[in-house]
Amino acid sequence: MITQIGRATAINRPGQLEVSESNQALDTRLRGEQVNRWERFCRWVTSTENRIYIGWFGVLMIPTMATAAVVFVLAFIAAPAVDLDGTGRAISGALLDGNNLITGAVVPTSAAVGLHFYPIWDAASLHEWLANGGPYQLIVLHFLIGIIAYQDREWELSYRLGMRPWISLAFTAPVAAAVSVLLIYPVGQGSFSSGMPLGISGTFTFMLQFQADHNILANPFHQLGVIGVFGGSLLCAAHGSLVTSALIRQGDSPSGWKKPGWAVRPNQTYSFDHAQANQEKLLWRGMRFKDSRSLHFFLAAFPVAGIWSAALGVDMAAFGFDQFSGWSAEGYRQKTVVPTWADITTQANLGIRAMKSSPAEPFPLWLDAVSEEVSENGLDTDDAPRDSRGRACSPGNMPVC
């Protein structure tokens, strides 16, 4: 018994330990209450125990991706027609205007806007912002910020878990492809109107027009991209089949089917040496990897490098480096191209390019036609045919006089 200021305190009572534990729990709770809300928020954001990791880049990713998704759905359903060419001819891609899920799209920003940053508050009214294709720029910019933040969020999670950042590095390939198509190409062409329409039919139309303008199929970097994507798919399929054929059987079964090793015990699931031996028989002698790590690194790096190359090919086309692809439409028009199978592709490119030529603004054509007629017939410009409003008429063009 210990005497403290006129009172006795027993230290060996049966309930003394429980009192001590309750005091510790009380102190822990008090210290938790002393932590401010910002500290608790930081711990929650960076905690790897959450069902879905948030991270600081996730704080940026979630609102930007949500904004892009909501605006895309609204624009895809009910956006008004957009003056895409800046000539007054409106193009509609909304479902409420008669499109379906295949033909519907978010039409790019008008050529009248060019590359200017065009937020809602920069327009005179909401109707003007919609008519000039403002939703497209809003969706694209928020989407690009969102996917870049997602890629950095993968790096952040790998860092928290003590992993290497290879997952984030691999995701830079689709990020590079999206940035090339949605941002770099419009910048190189001088207007967001050259961007890809956000829809199924719009995507394929953009691909056809891109081929017609730049002959991207002949670009060596695009060819490397095709090799990387399709070659990577082939190699992954071959690897999966080889691994499946080299699974280590565990025990006997009357049906002849054996459970793989991971379903029985945490041992080796397949024979890497047998898989590589079969790979040599399928491909050629000496085509094998020394270990599983080098094999899986190659399976990941091959398609990633291919997509990087394809994105670089789009960047080249954006800034007019088409001559490196060995194709020139002007040379074909001069009949200097050696007749090959590539001539069919060139003819298709020229045909698609001609289909895009829009008669929305025929005034220069009228002027040229009238000038040719005056020079051929020796007429004065005052004697040229005119319509009821006094405008010069051109044979074969509207308005008909």
Q: How far apart are CA 291 and CA 270, in angstroms?
A: 13
More confident residue, 344 or 301: 301
Token readout for 14 is 């049966």
Collapsed DSSP state (helix, strand, coil) of residue 132: coil
Indicate the DSSP class of residue 102: T
Question: Among 6-20, 52-66, 303-317, where is mean pLDDT lowest?
Answer: 6-20
Nearest C-alpha neighbor of 143 from the set 99, 196, 92: 196
Element (H, E) at 3: strand 2-4
Domains of the chain (ranges; CATH) run: 43-195 (1.20.85.10), 221-250+270-341 (no CATH)
Segments of 235-306 assigned E as strands: none
pLDDT tens for each residue of 98-113 = 899 998 999 999 998 9
pLDDT tens for each residue of 344-377 = 677 777 777 777 665 544 444 444 444 455 455 5
Q: How far apart are CA 21 and CA 26, in angstroms?
A: 9
b/e map 26-56, b = 16+ CB within 10 Å: eeeeeeeeeeeeeeeeeeeebeeeeeebbbe
Handedness of CA 131, 134, 136, 137 (dihedral sign): positive
Question: What Rg do the C-alpha atoms of the chain give, in angstroms?
Answer: 33
Give residue 193's identity as a one-letter amino acid code. Answer: S
User: What are the backbone angles phi and psi of residue 9, rounded to the nearest 5°?
Assistant: -125, 120
Indicate the DSSP class of residue 9: E
Per-residue pLDDT band at 293 (split at 50, 70, 90): confident
Nearest C-alpha neighbor of 177 from the set 349, 305, 325: 305
Q: How many CB atoms are closer than 10 A to CB 364?
A: 8
Q: How far apart are CA 394 and CA 359, in angstroms?
A: 14
User: How much is the average pLDDT of 205-231?
Assistant: 90
Query: pTM here?
Result: 0.72
Q: How far apart are CA 275 and CA 18, in angstroms?
A: 62
